[in-house]
Structure formats: C-alpha cells, structure tokens
Amino acid sequence: MNSEVMKKVSAQFVKEFPDMEARQSVAVGDTVVAHTKIIVIKKVQKTLTTAEKQAMKKAQDAGKVFDEMENLKSQPFRGVVVAMKGYGNNKKFVVRKIGADGIGVEKIIPLFSPVLEKLEIVAQGKPRRAKLYYLRNRVGKKALRVREKKAVAVPQDASVEPAA
C-alpha cells in the first residue's frame, strides 16, 4: 500500500518539470549543462529622509544604512556526470568540471528539485564504470574525457513499413 501512495505522490511531483525527458535520460558519462537557480544578494545604499537622519544623529549612529535586495539568477554549470546517487524523487547526480587554474570542481545536484532550472545533455558518454571517480586523478584535457556514444544516422527518406 505504501508503494502505491508513493507512486501517486511522485507522479504528481514529477509532472512539474518541463525538461522531464532530459532529467530521466541523464546517465553517468554524459556531458551536461545544469542551469541552477542561485540567489544574489546586493547591498544598496538607502536614501534617508530628513526625519530618519535626525533620528540617527540622536542615536549617534554614524554608519551607512543599506537595504538588501535579492535577485534570482540562473547559473550554468557544464561538466561530466561522474556519479548518480539515490533513487526515485531523491535521485542526485554529481557533475565535475575543471575550473580556473585547472582546479576540479564537483557539484551534487538533486535531479527533481526546483533549484535545477534546466538540464541540457550536450553529449552522451559510454563509460565502463558506474562511478567515474578515477577522473579526479587526471590532469588537463584527459580529466573530462569519456568515450562518446556513436550516433546512428537514420536517413530521412526511409519510410518505416509495418511487417506483414
């Protein structure tokens, strides 16, 4: 009974995402671009009215007054999927990229989270392992190199006829 309830709840939760096909087809070894939402907090100097200035002088508060503004921003993170963890709605994937100065950066992203705005699969890999943690020891271009799947070319003229 519990599994039936979980299936119904997960089916409702999963319907929310427009890029559902990409989220379900992502696999270890794929090169992906994960667009995640981040909150940018900016401090803006507040303009004070004369009454507020007089109140600050009385309180002997010489500091500047700032307002915090929050903006949502989409930040792309391009790299290779090194591992998949969990199952169902709790599924997560680890993306690894080589950042500035050749430093490796890994990010764990929940697959069915509203934080993940969009997921694009750039290239599909063909790894021989379930977890690609051995990429951590590599340097340079080899650090993100995984064999790619060969795309099967289907001619557009060919029509598919059902077998009789």
Q: Tell me, what's the pLDDT at 63?
A: 53
3-state secondary structure the chain: CHHHHHHHHHHHHHCCCCCHHHHHHCCCCCEEEEEEEEEEEEEEECCCCHHHHHHHHHCCCCCCCEEEEEEEEEEEEEEEEEEEECCHHHCEEEEEEECHHHCEEEEEEECCCCCEEEEEEEECECCCCCCCHHHHHCCHHHHHCCCECCCCCCCCCCCCCCCC
Sorted by where each begins, the domain ranges of the chain are 2-37+73-144
Mean per-residue pLDDT, 91-117: 89
Least confident piece of the model among 18-27, 60-69, 96-105, 137-146: 60-69
**Tell me: domain 2-37+73-144, CATH 2.30.30.790, correct?**
yes
